[in-house]
Amino acid sequence: MKKPPITNYKKSDLDKFDDIIRNKKKEIKEDYSIKEAIAQSKAEYNNLSNTSSEIRLYMFQTGTLKTKMKYIKMNQSNEEFEIPVPWFLIRHPKGDVVIDGGNAKEVSEDMHAHWGSVVAAYEPVMGKKENCVDQLNNIGVDPSSVKYVLHSHLHLDHSGGIGRFPNATHLVQQREYDYAFNPDWFSKPAYIRKDFDKPNINWKFLDHKNDDFYDLFGDGSIILIFTPGHAPGHQSFLVKLPNTGYVLLTIDAAYTMDHWNNLTLPGLVCSAVDVVDSVKKLKKIAKEKKAIIVTGHDPDAWEDFKKAPMFYYD
């Protein structure tokens, strides 16, 4: 029996939100120093109370990975390709939210000890202070203030935030968590068990069938969207900011704009059919919400975004 193609995704809270996007480009002051940015961020943080409606998105990276084109774009060349490893912070009046956290801190200390043989395919370039905790400290955010860590999936370049935030609840798709403990042979090197198999982690498991479009704070500011394919329990994030409007963090549902534009599949894939369907799903949402698209590891597109600690989106 032929299953009809999925063209209508679950009606969700998304429909309620206003469609207006203000794509206000902030003037970038070239001479703005990191020191000034940190001081300003700290001062602003002290003023941020629970009644504030300010929501901000900070974009970070835990360095880069040196890899080959074919590991990012399926069946392509052996050409050298270096990709950023992004992660994100959302400051919300109800609490700070970390998305992923990039590579684990240990990678910067001894990449071979922590990642093993996968280093041959993905060689991390990561400074000793380029981990999520030190980077948060840089903008005056105390790790204990982080309320949620949202996990797109549990691959090695996304698992750096686990166990770093004592008061955080970690949200992951149940399907992804289960798979991470028992991956298929081809994706096994991408899961570093010591990153997620830790004691005393407060996990909250989402069910992909019932929790799609999970609205984290109930105000539409952060929506979790189930986007399997690259990993079985992958999810992407739609962030709604007061001035910038909607920002869609595809994470690895689309590594690069070529993936977004259906020109290539990811080098690492669990289901090509799901990959394509997830891009289709995200495109529909992006179009509806006029969202800014942030892909997972695009070296060119990533250049153009405003990065922490200097800048943020509000």
Distance CA 133, CA 138 (A): 9
Exposed / middle / buried, residue 110 (Cβ in 10 Å: 0-12, 13-18, 19+): exposed
Cβ nearer to Zn ion, comparing 83 with 285: 83
Which DSSP string do the residues of 122-188 spell out, in sequence order? SEEE--TT-SHHHHHHHTT--GGGEEEEE-S---TTT-TTTTS-TTPEEEEEHHHHHHHHS--TTTG
Binding residue (CB under 5 A) for Zn ion from 114, 155, 164, 259: 155
Choose the binding region for Zn ion from 51-59, 78-86, 116-124, 154-162 (rule: CB under 5 A): 154-162
Cβ nearer to Zn ion, comparing 135 with 227: 227
Report which secondary-structure segment, H or E, holds 276. Answer: helix 272-289
Q: Work out how close the CB of 234 gets to Zn ion at its nearest, in angstroms, rounded to a whole number.
A: 8
Q: Work out how close the CB of 153 gets to Zn ion at its nearest, in angstroms, rounded to a whole number.
A: 6
Residue 100 interacting with Zn ion (CB under 5 A)? no
Question: Residues with Cβ < 8 Å from 15, sequence gap 6 or more?
Answer: none
String of contacts with Zn ion for each residue 224-253, x by CB under 5 A: ----------------------------x-
How many residues at the interface with Zn ion, by CB under 5 A? 2
Choose the binding region for Zn ion from 30-38, 148-156, 253-261, 286-294 (rule: CB under 5 A): 148-156
Q: Work out how close the CB of 194 gets to Zn ion at its nearest, in angstroms, rounded to a whole number.
A: 17
Q: Work out how close the CB of 114 gets to Zn ion at its nearest, in angstroms, rounded to a whole number.
A: 17
Angle at 248 (CA atoms; ends 5, 79), nearest 5 degrees: 85
Chain positions 261 to 300 lying near Zn ion, rule: CB under 5 A, are none
- In the complex, the residues that contact Zn ion under the rule CB under 5 A are 155, 252
